[in-house]
Chain A
Amino acid sequence: MLALFTLCFAALSFEALSLEAQGAAVPKLAEDPRSAASTDTRPILIQAGAVIDAKGQRFAPGSVLVKDGKILAVGSGLVAENAELREFGARAVVTPGLIEANAELEPLERAEEGVEITPRLRLADGLDPESRAWAGLRRNGVTSAFLSPSGRSVISGRGAVVKTMPTADDRWILDAAGALKATTGQEPSGGNIVPRFGRPNSIFYRRPTTRMGVTWEFRKAFSDAQLYAAARQAGGPLDPDAQVLADLMASKGEIRMRARLLQDIRTAIRLAEEFGLRLVIEEGIESFRSPEEILAAKAKLIYGPTLFQPAGIVFGFGFGGGSVRQQETDRNYLATPARLHAAGVEFALGSAEYAASDRGLAHQAAIAVHFGLPREVALRACTVVPATWLGIDKRVGTLEVGKDADLVVWSGEPFELATRPVAVMVDGAFADAQED
């Protein structure tokens, strides 16, 4: 409550100042009553060659004024007497912190290997604030992320929305009970062995072993939950797993389904329709084949990662072999984002298990631009669109007065293959400056 009050106050108090902000001094800042009353933190003034606010404005040269984790001003040639000055040079460009809409981080506990259906699990219960993944995300300019549970289960649990700079308390967790994750395709059955062979001496002697089996597990879980809901109303016992699914159906909630190939995308659309759920498609590697179906289903698409260029361009297609990931990703089309945009599909970009690596979001966005996606669309797909979809757009996604001070300073124009994030600020604090 107090925080909310301060936030409003900051926004109000600055409204008066912002009139003078364009090219003028900001003299009243030292008299800001909050700095005397509360903690005595100094504002930070960030100056760069340009600031892109992701609302359609570009300030060149640009500055951002930040205090107590919030943005006080965005503009050209801001001056603040009392502020700590951070200059990044004429080539540097500032954008809002990127939002990774689909991060599958390996070091996190993401799946229970022995069971297909575990909707009661929450990824937020297994977060390690000391994981190296956070630094990896920040290196990609990511300041907020949806952490997606594993694709090894059919319904693996709820994801979490976090800031990428863990705090001592749980302030950094924006949503501990994010969207429920399910997976179509081959992966949930990968490694399973049909029980009729050999001696069943491991948990992998079980079904499903096919796509059909995977889909059946999903359908069975939800139709069981429908029966459960009726029984529960009649005073039946509580089943925490079925309860999650029943609640989701009752509220027409969101289901996140990882679907890579076209057939899996269609399965996801069918299942969501069947149980009255709103669909978010993760990855959508083959979405380029039929953007119309995604539009018609009103599904949200989080496209990516773009990984490989098939060897010899066509020779490598569909050759099987390799991991499930490889088989399902080798059928990609490098200009997918450009085509989706042309077809009128709004999408966010995600990099799945590569989120914390050097093939993370910054790289994915640059690749999308390289293969024809307009820059401003790429920026939206990493900021405004995922912020809205994740329900955190009141706090992040653009550089606006009153929003969280999450931003990235790039060594040059963002989403260039020859530039990179050189500094990342989360909640008003610069994270580890990139070591050279």
Chain B
Amino acid sequence: MSKKLLTFSLLSLVAPQAGAFQAPEKLAITGAKVITVSGETYEKANVLLENGRIQAIGKDLEVPWDAKVIDASGKVVMPGLVLAQTNEGLDRPNENVPVTPFISVLDALNPVDAFFEDSLREGHATILVIPGNETVIGGTGRVVKPFGLTVESMTVRVDGGMKISASPRRGVSAMAHVAELRKAFVEFRDELEVAAEKKLAGAKSEKKAEAPKAAGEKADDKKADEKKPADKKAEEKAAPVDPLKVLEWKDLSARQRALFEVLNGRMPVFLWCERAMDVAHAIEIAKSQGFLSRTTLVIGTECWKAADEIKAAGLSVILPSDFVHREVDPLTGKERETSLPKVFASKGIPFALNATSRGALLERSLLLRGASAVAAGVEPATALRAITLEPARMLGLGDSHGSLEVGKAGTLLVLSGDPFRTGTWVEEVVIDGAHLYSRAKDDRLQRLTGDSKDGGR
């Protein structure tokens, strides 16, 4: 089952599962200010969704007679928010063995975890759930939507990415940690080489075994003898064999497959760097192992100091939910605060903001994170991209999510006002054409913020 899903996902990475959500065939959101993020912003426009995808956006679009309608007059429509990476929704973020590329959040993701309910409420419509940072090679994550009772029905993308950490785990020195990371790759490549050689040798002996039956012995021997020197040369030239080309999915054990996908460049990598010094290790390892182009850095606050290195390597970053770096000069005692979004925006490095339900009030929502980034001096348009299109791109979903364009997934939010304004709320959430959340019907939120007498409890 899981293998089938895996292969399926590799072929067609994103497929709106309209059936699973019982989305209406046609949905129209009318009369709203539509912020597309990738293109223009429309006033008083309609958005038409059909079979879970965006069919049209425009000012004077006719609403089909058979479409379900959400009246959003005076409100704002924007793409569903994309949570670039989290380890919430799992029972535990990490296995207590450092090198576990073969485990997957599939087996730990809890669809009824309060985290997913909160995510829907906050408009976080697309989420990468991936193992935590207390690891060397942590395992595979999944891109999910915060709705559904099975992991399969929630899944947007199976191979969400591999979590790798360039920063020492608790109680481990930096030297030991990085050595362990390098060793894991060296050993894995050795393993693959052995497997590849075995496969080649097997193929040869098979040929040898089959050949005599096909033709006369003598003639064949001669041919073989003639070819021998050339073969040897070729083998010497080609050696060492490239196991990534020789080996196929079926030649690998379940233990090897996920990391194999990383090395052959099909699996995105999310590389954790807590401190600025870890960035250099991370880049060096990603480069030497050949997955730099598929890598996104997940960074701690100090890493703004490595911004130039990150830019030179052409990488994107996922910021921590608390994105202010604070340090005290040990000599002068002067306190310095650095706001990461401002640094990365000014250097032109693509970045995604991140939220966590474990943080302070403003850290819980991507919209509020965006507002904080604007307060720190980032242009609103950049902040908007940092919670939609940029993270979508990092998850390999840039063509299907993160902006409102014809043909993209019908995943969008209706807000009560402009994003980043105080007092703006997520009113409606539509995912893949299915209307999944309505603030007016959110009893729990009403209790917390509403005007009912028993509010607060």
Residue ranges of A at the interface with B (Cβ–Cβ < 8 Å): 132, 135, 286, 288-289, 306-315, 317, 331-336, 339, 342, 358-359, 363, 366-367, 369-372, 411, 415-420, 435-436
Contact = CB atoms under 8 A, between A and B. Distances in A.
B421 interface: yes
Contacts of B444: 313-314
Contacts of A310: 448
Given A132-B335, A312-B118, A335-B455, A367 B371 contact: no
B42 interface: no
Contact of A359 (B335, B360, B421, B448): B360
Given A363-B362, A370-B423, A416-B422, A334 B449 contact: yes
B448 A419 contact: no
B449 to A, nearest CB: 5
Contacts of B371: 416-418
Nearest to A342: B451
Contacts of A415: 422
Interface in B421-457: 421-423, 444-445, 447-451, 455-457
Contacts of B114: 311-313, 315
Contacts of B447: 313-314
Of A132, A335, A417, the most chain B CB neighbours within 10 A belong to A417
A372 B357 contact: no
24 contacts: A132-B335, A135-B335, A306-B361, A308-B361, A312-B118, A313-B118, A313-B445, A314-B444, A317-B457, A332-B456, A335-B448, A335-B455, A339-B451, A339-B455, A369-B422, A369-B423, A370-B422, A411-B375, A416-B375, A417-B371, A417-B372, A418-B370, A418-B422, A420-B375
A333 B453 CA distance: 12
Contacts of B374: 418
Contacts of B337: 435
Given A312-B357, A411-B375, 15 more contacts: A286-B456, A308-B360, A333-B455, A335-B455, A336-B456, A339-B451, A342-B451, A358-B324, A411-B377, A415-B422, A416-B371, A416-B375, A417-B422, A418-B374, A418-B422
A336 B357 CA distance: 21
Interface string B106-141: 000000001101100100000000000000000000
B361 A309 contact: yes
A435 B451 CA distance: 40
B372 A311 contact: no
A339 B374 CA distance: 29
Contacts of A359: 360
Interface extent on B, as a size class?
A: 35 or more
Interface string B349-391: 0000000011011101000101110111100100000000000
A420 B422 contact: no
A317 B337 CA distance: 34
B3 interface: no
A327 B447 CA distance: 19
Nearest to A366: B422
Contacts, number: 102
Contacts of B333: 132
Nearest to A306: B361
B448 A334 contact: yes
Q: Which of A306, A336, A358 has the most CB of B within 10 A?
A: A358
Contacts of B358: 311
A83 to B, nearest CB: 28
Interface of B: 114-115, 117-118, 121, 324, 328, 333, 335-337, 339, 342, 357-358, 360-362, 364, 368, 370-372, 374-377, 380, 420-423, 444-445, 447-451, 455-457
A309 B448 contact: yes
Those 10 A-B pairs whose CB atoms lie nearest each other, nearest first:
A312-B114, A333-B456, A417-B371, A418-B374, A418-B371, A313-B444, A418-B420, A420-B375, A335-B449, A416-B422
A153 B445 CA distance: 37
Nearest to A365: B422
With most chain A CB atoms within 10 A of its CB, the pick from B335, B336, B447, B455 is: B455
Among B370, B377, B422, B445, the one with the most A-chain Cβ atoms within 10 Å of its Cβ is B422
A262 to B, nearest CB: 10
B451 to A, nearest CB: 8
A107 B377 CA distance: 30
Given A309-B364, A313-B447, A333-B455, A418 B342 contact: no
Contacts of B339: 436
B423 A312 contact: no
A307 B335 contact: no
B447 to A, nearest CB: 7
Contacts of B324: 358
A304 B393 CA distance: 40
A311 B372 CA distance: 21
A420 B376 contact: yes
Contacts of B115: 312
Contacts of B420: 417-418
Contact of A435 (B328, B336, B421, B455): B336
Contact of A417 (B357, B360, B375): B375
A342 to B, nearest CB: 8
A334 B447 CA distance: 10
Given A417-B371, A420-B375, A435-B337, A311 B448 contact: no
Contacts of B455: 288, 333, 335, 339
B201 to A, nearest CB: 56
A425 B284 CA distance: 48
B457 A418 contact: no
B449 A371 contact: yes
Given A288-B455, A333-B448, A334-B448, A418 B421 contact: yes
A307 B375 contact: no
Given A312-B118, A363-B362, A436 B377 contact: yes
Nearest to B339: A436
A420 B377 CA distance: 9
Nearest to B418: A418
A419 B456 contact: no
Nearest to B383: A418
A322 B444 CA distance: 23
Contacts of B364: 309
A417 B368 contact: yes
Contacts of B117: 312-313
A339 B423 CA distance: 15
B342 A289 contact: no
A377 to B, nearest CB: 14
Nearest to A332: B456
A332 B455 CA distance: 10
A385 B418 CA distance: 31
B422 A372 contact: no
B456 A417 contact: no
Given A417-B422, A436-B377, A313 B368 contact: no
Nearest to B335: A132
A363 B362 CA distance: 9
Contacts of B118: 311-313
A308 B363 CA distance: 10
B362 A417 contact: yes
A372 B374 CA distance: 22
A415 B337 CA distance: 21
B55 to A, nearest CB: 33
A165 to B, nearest CB: 16
B252 to A, nearest CB: 40
A376 B328 CA distance: 37
A395 to B, nearest CB: 29
A333 B452 CA distance: 12
B457 A307 contact: no
A318 B300 CA distance: 32
Contacts of A371: 449
Nearest to A132: B335
A288 B208 CA distance: 86
Contacts of A317: 457
Contacts of A314: 444, 447
B442 to A, nearest CB: 9
